Structure 1
Amino acid sequence: MWRLLSFRLFSMVRPLQTADASGRRTYKIAGIFKEDDLQGIRRSQGYAETLFEVGLQVDDRHIWWFHSNHEMWIQNKYSVEYSLDDLMKCTALVCYNDMLAEEIYHDLSQKGICIPQDLSIVGFDNQNIKLDGDCYLTSVQHPRRKLGETAANLVWDMIEQGCNVAPAEPIIMPSTIVARNSIIRRF
């Protein structure tokens, strides 16, 4: 499911106005992910698999990782360190979640970088974040209630039937992309 969503995200961002040696337009999509939880790992895997599937290189210079930090979390910040020079060589940025995308947006705005004119930005969780003026964050929306119900049912089954109860196959929840104006669609 993450690959499908990542592919849809890729198809929505503008092409970088450069070309490779053969004259083809080049695309570079950066990512920032949390490395100490499974959700961050899975989101980064979907990102990388999708780039590979559409023929784009996964470049470590365009992927940044961060760890949980309780003190920063309380302040509603992540304080991710990234290379502005490397980021600005990219078409778009996929963020671990909407809170991080909002933090990165404000950091970039202070440096004079305009979203989406200079860089498209996308998050996860669909918190309907207003970035600035009339700019709202494009985000992946997943069915929170259905996720909670499914998790509760799995825990209940484990309690009733023993801890070895697990679904035979991964449970895939349908998700959608809520496209707003933090991206420039490609033509």
Structure 2
Amino acid sequence: MSNPNPKRISIRNHLSRLVRLRKLIVGLALLALSLYVLFGPRIEGGNVYLTLLMLAAAFIAFGLGWVWFSHGLMGWSRQFDFDFEKNEARQISASILGRSRPYVVPFSEIVDFVIKEGPVRGEGGLTAEALIEMKDPSGRPFMRAGMFDSRQEAEEMVTRIKDAVAMARQQADAEGR
């Protein structure tokens, strides 16, 4: 299958069957727990702090349960878009009801890349998948992008991003003269 827009590359981190099943079960359990905490026990004596604590626990359990159930049902949780026309990387989280607002990082803000590889939990055997960790000027990672099939694919993406940043800087220097 050919890419209709070669200037924009999208990568979804698809989850393995075992990880999907685990997320579905934990998500359903947390959703059930939140409903039980909201509608199950009644507190006698009117302790306001205990009631607020139970509501906070139910809210957190519902939120985590919804997210994990959504990821398990859909089979993926994040999508990374590398847009070489706009020179930016976008991360979008997914839910059953839709997608989040994208977290956008211009290529020019990326100072360093670290390629991490290793086995993915939940798979039957070891896989050679890799991900790119992008660092900001202070050295902190601010985006971990993709699940590339191999280290070579991740290195190719890093090279493309570095080339795009170099070209943008050359154009800015040419316009500034």
With normalisation by structure 1, the TM-score equals: 0.22
Q: Which has the larger radius of gyration?
A: 2
With normalisation by structure 2, the TM-score equals: 0.23
Which one has the bigger strand percentage? 2
